[in-house]
Structure 1
Amino acid sequence: MAKPSTLQVRNAAVALVAAGIAVWNLIIGGPFLVTLFLGLGCVLALASIYLNRPGA
């Protein structure tokens, strides 16, 4: 298995942080739009990890 690039590692960190904040926002009853944008950011970060894989 190939070693992940620094961009992939950064995107994984962003995805984890965004998912964590989205869950926290849901728990505290924050605005739904904030949760939606954080979820979208998480999906985009995961897509970037996939698209920046070696050999893509």
Structure 2
Amino acid sequence: MAKQQFKLRNQDVKTYFDDLCRKYPEWRLDALEEKTAQRFYISPRTVRAILKGEGNYAL
């Protein structure tokens, strides 16, 4: 059950990040990661790992 919740969260992180990229194309990557991390209460490094599909965050 928890694994499914993480998959849903990770998909939401990707969607939110993509929306921010479209809304604020002038923002730097680290600013987009920071804003996303604040929204989901995770670290910017975790956001980066989710976006890249690294390690445990690979779907």
> How many pairs align?
43
TM-score, length-scaled by structure 2: 0.51
Question: Contact between 1:11 and 1:49, CA under 8 Å: does it hold in 2?
Answer: no
RMSD: 3.0
Identity of aligned residues (%): 0
Match of 1:25 in 2: 20
Runs of 4+ in 1 over 6 A off after TM superposition: none
Q: For the residues of structure 2 that align with 1:18 and 1:27, how far apart are their CA atoms?
A: 14
Question: Contact between 2:33 and 2:48, CA under 8 Å: does it hold in 1?
Answer: no
Larger Rg: 1
Q: Which has the higher contact order (CA 8 A, sep 6+)?
A: 1
Match of 2:2 in 1: 7
TM-score, length-scaled by structure 1: 0.53
